[in-house]
Structures are given as structure tokens and as C-alpha cells.
Amino acid sequence: MNKVPTICPYCGCGCGLYLHVEEGNIIGVSPIRHHPVNKGTLCVKGWNSFEFIQHPERLKRPLIRIAPKERSAFSTPSLPLPPRGGGQGWGGDSELRTPNSELFREVSWDEALDYIAERLGEIKDNYGPDSIGIMSSAKCTNEENYLMMKFAKAVIGTNNIDHCARLCHSSTVGGLAGAFGSGAMTNSISEIVNARVLFVIGSNTTEQHPMIGMHMLDAVDKGAILIIADPRRTQISEFAHIHLRQKCGTDVVLLNSMMNVIINEGLVDIPFIKRRTENFDAFEKIVMRYPPEVAEKITGVPAQDIKKAARIYATEKRAMLFYSMGITQHITGVDNVHSCANLCMLTAHIGQPMTGLNPLRGQNNVQGACDMGALPDVYSGYQNVSEPAIRKKFEQTWKKRLPARPGLTLTEMFDSILKGQIKALYIMGENPAISDPDASQVREALGKLKFLVIQDIFMSDTAEFAHIILPAVTFAEKDG
């Protein structure tokens, strides 16, 4: 038996594990003993991460839709709207589906790729490059996301590319990039255990990111103080020394009130503020409007609890702040992230070990997909497509003229389809018919496309609408 090291595909923790390979089959997994994230253990998802790899309903060959009348693979039928939970030929409500020979036929890779190139080329020629949209995937590698970004921007000639971060952590990209220049964790997971204060807002960490939650509880066992800000009682809140149960949508008020206390009680790191930050005077005027007594009426959190949490966080040098989708999936998500960043800067809890602002991402490579530029307004490294000098650099490297205007976001693409502007979509590793907001509108839009390419491991609700389906590989079958 061979043991092949890799990374668990399920969440943003990035736990190390071995795949147990025997005669070409994966028969099990085990944790990497000295991996810095999971330290020789796995959660239940990690222990079962190999089971889907050899599932009999995996897609194996490309599939082209057969038109209802002509049964011609090269026609573009008007697709009926399949019912939610299993359309015609998909086996009712079963989670996994196999293709129906009345709807699709297997073809070679050459035929499939020629068909995609021909149809996308026709649509680009007839309607322009911005009539095509691309959806990349946070479940794919950096290399795959980079290639998809380059395919959209250099080959198709459109900035209409996005992925699921639009719904979960695009506010992190915008908020942290504006504050610190990069939308990523400022500190490493291995530092958590030696922190003295852990402030967690909008994250049930022990369930969402079990191994990071394990590090937090290890720190608590060593004497760290755990502050939780969450409207709900959660698994991790049971271990909290302070649980701030703010009303939904009042995160900015809560954080502003904590900063009000820190300023009024002289707990600000003035040298750091002068040396490393900007616009403090304007910021101070805003937070002065939120003393704890005012914030209590808005948030429902007792003023004394706000003061206590603020003092503990500000006076401990090794204080780390964590957040997840409890504060990002809001119309004020960027404001929430900015407020967290302001709290870190106000107390100089940034740029040092066991401090910092640390977003806990959702899918396993949301961070990488964003870093690689699978977004409508940036290239890799968050370089703005609207900046002439940046665009010129990429044009010289790729030897292609590139579009200057930012593209459509994921949700805007579906609006554009219904308006008749986007005619084709290429979707890699996403299932928007289930996962995107306003599912009925998404499904209506998918049914109106002239051409839909799906690249995935299994059949899905979104694949019901596809004109062509490409089988994808799993994390265990590729490098990156």
C-alpha cells in the first residue's frame, strides 16, 4: 500500500492527510501526524474524504445533449425548466444522478472540445465577447483558477468571470484589500494556541472549521480568554468567557462601541496609529457616536459586557480576531470587515505574532481562487483590470488586447441572461441552480441560455440545463 500526502478538500482549514492507495484504488485515509493545521487528527468529513472519488455515478466521458426533435448533438434546443429536486431523466430526488440516454450521448474528448470551441466562437462572433460568462470554482486548484481566468480575459476577451466568493467572502477581498492591501489571513493557524485572547465574531468555528476550532480550544485550555460575538448560542460559544449576543445586522455598532471604549479609556496605541494608519480623526468622530449605553439599545448587548470585552481585547498584546460568513454574507459585509480591521489597527493587534485579523474561508480554495484573479475586476494578485499600466503589463505578457471595463459579478450574470445580454456560460465546479440566491430566477436564466458548458465530477441540478458536460477530476487525481 502506498500513502500519498495531500490536502483535505472539504473546508478552508487545509488539513494534511494521506490517501491509502492499493492496486490503483483509494481504500482509506489517515491524518499527517505533524501537519501544522490538524496535528495528526481529522474531523468526520476528513476521515470520509475519499469515498466519493470512486463512486459509481462519477462522470467518466463527455456528454452532449441530444435535441428533442432532431437528436442532433450540434443543435441548440430551447430547454424546458426542470422541476426542483430532479428533472426528467435524473432519477427523482436522489442526490446523485446518472445521465439519461434520451437526453445525452457520450462523445470523445476531441468531439466535445471541438463542439465547445465552435459554439463559443459563434456566440463571440455574433454577439461579442461580453455575451459569454465564466464561473470558476473555489473547489479547484490555483492553477485551474488561473487558467480559467486567463481563458476568460485573454481568449474570450471578457472580464465576466466570478466564483462563489461573491456570495461568501467577496466582502473580505474588498474590505481587507482596502485596509491592509490583501484579502487574506494576516497570521498563521499555528499561532492560535499561544494567543492570550481570541475574539471570534460571526463564526461557529468548531463546526465550520473543526481543526481551527481545535486550536482555539487548545488555547483556552492554556488559559486564553475566548470572546464570542454571535446572535446565536453555538457549539463554540459554550466555551466562551464572554458571549456578546448582538441583534442580527448590528455588528458595526457593536464593534464601533468597543472602539469607543478603547479610545475613551486611553487604550489606543498612539505611536502605532501615527506611524501606520490614516484618517484617524475622521474615524474617531464616527465611533464617538456609539458609547456602550447607546449601543446597548441598538444591539441588545449590555453596556457592561461591551466594556469588558473591549478592555480585555485592547490590553492583551497577544490578541487574535477571527470572523467567518456570519458577518460577510450581508449587504453591509464590507463595512463589517472594515470595522474588524479598524479594531485591530486601533489596538496595534496587527503585524505581530499571535495577533491579526483572520478570515475563516468557506470552501477549500476560496482564497486561492480570489488570489488567482477569478473575479470580474482584477487579474491575479488583485491587480485592477481598469488600471492602464497593469492592463498593459498583462497584454504584453499574454500578447492579447484585454478589456478595460470590469465584468459582471456572479449574480449580475443571471440578471444579464434574463435581459438577453449573456448568451453562453461555462461553469466549472459550481451548482448555482442550488447554491445561488433566488434559485427560481437562476433556473429560469439557465433555461434561456443558447449554450451552457458544465465541468463537474457528478451530475447536478445545474447540469440538467447543459448542452455539454465535461467530466472533471477530483483532488486525488491531480496536482496543484
Asked if residues 347 and 337 have their Cβ atoms less than 8 Å apart, the reply is: no
Measure the CA–CA gap between 395 and 399, rounded to whole angstroms.
5
pLDDT tens column, 205-242: 999 899 999 999 999 999 999 999 999 999 999 999 99
Total-model pTM: 0.82
In the block, cell 457593536 appears at 254
**102 pLDDT tier (thresholds 50, 70, 90):** low
Please name the fold of domain 170-359: Dimethylsulfoxide Reductase; domain 2 (3.40.228)
- Bridge partners of 357, per DSSP, are 321
Of the candidates 322, 375, 466, which has an alpha carbon nearest to the alpha carbon of residue 159?
Answer: 375
Measure the CA–CA gap between 139 and 480, rounded to whole angstroms.
12
CATH 2.20.25.90 is held by the domain 2-47: yes
Asked if residues 272 and 223 have their Cβ atoms less than 8 Å apart, the reply is: no
The pairing of strands 197-201 and 161-162 is: unpaired
pLDDT tens column, 388-428: 999 999 999 999 999 999 999 998 999 999 999 999 999 99
Domain ranges for the chain: 2-47, 63-167+366-477, 170-359
The residues near 101 (Cβ < 8 Å, ≥ 6 apart) are: none
Report the run of H or E that residue 218 belongs to, with start and end.
helix 210-221
The residues near 96 (Cβ < 8 Å, ≥ 6 apart) are: 55, 57, 458, 459
- Residue 98 pLDDT exceeds 80: no
CATH architecture group of domain 63-167+366-477: 3-Layer(aba) Sandwich (3.40)
Cα dist. 101→90, 425, 455, 457, 468 in Å?
Answer: 11, 23, 19, 18, 13
Q: Do 170-359 and 63-167+366-477 fall under one CATH topology?
A: no
pLDDT tens column, 307-336: 999 999 999 999 999 999 888 888 888 899
